Amino acid sequence: MNLLLWGITLGTVGKLILGIAVLRVHVHILRERKIDRDVLNALRREQFVTLIGLAFIVVGYTQEILFYYGSTEFLSCTGSECASLVQAAFQN
């Protein structure tokens, strides 16, 4: 494992930990119920956005790993060709 892979991995783990921490704070505040309804609704929206952000981090990490350590055929594929390349990458 080279330095680039370590850097990508540690950066992604750090982002995930930060996102999970934000979600835990939101859950804690939502359970308290000592805040008005507008703030609670805003926190629910922020939770949703945070979950989307975490999903993007995971997908981005996967794409980076495939780019740097997978086949370079991903750079020029289209449609079903890309789908078969992704499937082949995960089967190896």
Q: Identify the residue whose tokens are 């929206």.
A: 45
Per-range mean pLDDT, top range of 34-38, 51-55, 74-78: 51-55
Sign, CA dihedral 59-60-61-64, equals positive
Q: What is the pLDDT of residue 57?
A: 86
SS3 of residue 77 by DSSP: coil
User: 76 falls in which pLDDT band (50, 70, 90)?
Assistant: low
User: 2 falls in which pLDDT band (50, 70, 90)?
Assistant: low
User: 71 falls in which pLDDT band (50, 70, 90)?
Assistant: low
pTM exceeds 0.85: no
